[in-house]
Chains A and B, each alone.
Chain A
Amino acid sequence: MSIKEELLRLVGPESFTDDPAVLKAYSTDFSLVPPGAANYVVKPKKTEEVHDVIKLANAHSIPVVPVSSRVHFHGTTIPKQGGIILDLTTMNNVLEIDALNKRVRIEAGVTWEQLTSELAKKGFRMVMPLLPHPLRSVVTDYLEREVLINTVYDYGEPLQSMEVVWPTGEVFRTGSASVTGYPDSPSKGANPSGPGLDFYRFLQGAQGTMGVVTWANLKIEYLPKIDKILFAPVDDLDYAIEFLYRILRIRIGQECLLLNSINLATIIADDWHSDFEKLRASLPPWTLILVISAFQRRPEEKIQYEEQALEEILRNEFPEIHIADHLPGSPGLGKKLLPMLRKPWPEQVTYWKQRPKGGCQSLFFITKPTWVSRFVGKIAEMAASHGYPIADVGGYLQPIEHNRACQLEFNFFYDPASYSEVERVRGLYGEAAKVLLSEGALFTRPYGEELTQLVYEKAADYTMTLRRVKNIFDPNNIMNPGNLCF
């Protein structure tokens, strides 16, 4: 039997295609990663089919590219060496919402849109990244360690136990889901760790190269009873960062982030043509957004003590920070923005990163907040030298873990139809990645060939060890080859 015949037998004709038009759609995405075509697309309906397809692929050394989202921004799902697209978007059941243990179990194809609305009905929410695309896979975004906008939960990452199909085809459950017969067990899958090894760690940041996650348990949180969204215009980023060192350490706030004028304008503009330019001219250079929340019990008292602590600090230590429940010049911003922060981007509106010009190349990394200005300055220099107006660079500063670290993100917008703009952004991005890496920017999620190569060359002993681990789980290197250092 040919591979095609085998695949048809395994998943059925309704779940298989090799239609060139369909293959073409998978061969590019919204990144600058060059196109690459697969040979087949299969859409398994259940784990058994995933297992069967991977087993077959492994036996014949055929690459498998897992795809769980409907949109992609980093080029991770562009097939680099052909093979089979394993599209899990129709494995999209919300399997359990476990209120008692604040847990949800979802299949890989479940989107942000789907999950956030299901949870909201039950009074729950996810700790979210910033305005994810509604059609992105929730599981993938957590696996890929998208940075979260809420810094207050000390226990961190929402991802718990998972089901994975290894590149050799075995179906395996990690953490406490590994008990025989799960979920028919007293174990609910709340422990991500083990058994024996922390398998879940190998799957994180893996861009689908270590195995295919079919479902995952995730932590959910209650929706607050009271929220107050606050804003502060920021001219002096260093001063604002000092302020964050102070308040986030004493656990003030839930969501907390900074956006520069262009990014905030991109997000809040209603009518693009009439609003965007006005907004970006009128918004302050950066805006601090801080949400204070309270839950079911004595919520007013919670808001009160938190506000009191905040006011004391502002009054006694940071008189130049002017926090208010509104942003001067932007009426109704609070009412608009707060619900947005708890949901994905609305599907009917062009994704915010694509609104300015259609294309967006994002450069993001982890660093210490105290180094932020230095990096901002470097980007400004490099943007200028590439003829990219600094005022057009999107900026997003996300404090992490009580501001002991942060993610700094720069967005370079470009018109994908303009060759010169594409090249300019490519050049700027390439140089910025190299320079920032050498200056200590921590690229923990290297996407795209250029950055990936820089990172893994620098991390020589890590790369070597990673390849040794990969070789154990994927001796034939079939799982999304060409990504990372594989």
Chain B
Amino acid sequence: MPEEKVSLDVTDAANFIYDMSRCIKCKGCTWVDHIYMPGVKYSTRCPSATKYLFDSYGAYGKMRIGLALLEGRLDYTDEVLKILYACTLCGACDVGCKRNLDLEIELTLEALRIQAVKAGKGPMPEHKKIAQNIMEKHNSFGAPHENRTKWLADGIKPSPKADVLYFVGCSASYTHPEIAQATAGILNASGVPFMLLPDERCCGNTLYSVGMVDEARELAQRNIDAVRQAGANTLLTSCAEGYRMWKVDYPKMLNMSTADLGFEVVHLVEYVDGLIKEGALKLANRVDLRLTYHDPCSLSRLSEPWVPWEGERGLWGVVDPPLERRRGTNGVYQPPRDVLDSIPGIELVEMPRMRENAFCCGAGRGTKVAFPDFASWAAEQRLAEVKEVGAEAIVSACPWCKDNFAEAVSRNGASLKVLDFSELVLSAVGSTG
């Protein structure tokens, strides 16, 4: 058969027909990697497949359904939309599959959502509301745009110009200001000047994640231009989802590499790790806490830089030029752990599902707003694991994780602290180096 042109362009789902038709139903996408399998409990890493049980909700089902949609054998019914959207795009399936094979599962799922939107069927009604909020108020919540900087408390003084630009994000601006305040506090304590965007707007996470790629692209271009104009060398964020958007999905949408952005995208966990190792920050205050760290999906599995690719695929499925696939190997796993380990008094215990096997909190990428029960359920699953290891606190590095876990804790009345990385680090900050 002749060679076929193909690219990793998610705006055309036909680019992923090969991937959909080569899924072998091994379910490595659902189960924890066999090497790390903890036993009969905490055995899966796909929340959708674990909750909804029918194969259709696992990646193997979605690959087959995707093909059927593309081939016109299946219509976009409510069930189809639920299958496509009751999923946090957490990347567990992608990483699980890529342990052995060369299939782009995550990109396929993104492409299927883009296709659903193009067909006028997706996204979910709740997502459309979010999109409207973003269009009108420049934030996911539909809150007044002018309130975006209300989180700035006394004592936090951004510079008019600095190398580091702190991109706060909707969540830390509006619903979890403690994260923004803690981040700023850490930067101050480290003597790192930072600036803010004069008119920060939503990163577009929900827009891109639900398949509204045109709207997301427009926002991406606008945001990148704004950062370039501000002249930052480093874009710092404390939100894992925002991190992923800037580092991976912006370049993806604009058909460029992460390296071509013109500035480095850094998450707070990486930044703090760097500061400590350089001696610029010392975490000297004792914090007596037995805690566990939850790897946010967008900071771990999904965080490797983006490089666009196009080429040809021929016999045996061999592609040319060769493609270095993003397998989640170089996710930001170790830096937050190094930081937490360095805090005196902290006892860091790991959950059975950690790093690339982490079980998504269930909230991310627009899922919670459309499937709140699913998000609550996923959080409960994860919190059971926290309890299993006897941790007093769960720490993550994403306000969406914090939000979902905190809600679950208040609902079930557990005596568990839900903390963001930024808060914990701030509480441990001593003198600077």
Q: Do chains A and B touch in the complex (CB under 8 A)?
A: no
Q: Which residues of B contact A (CB under 8 A)?
A: none
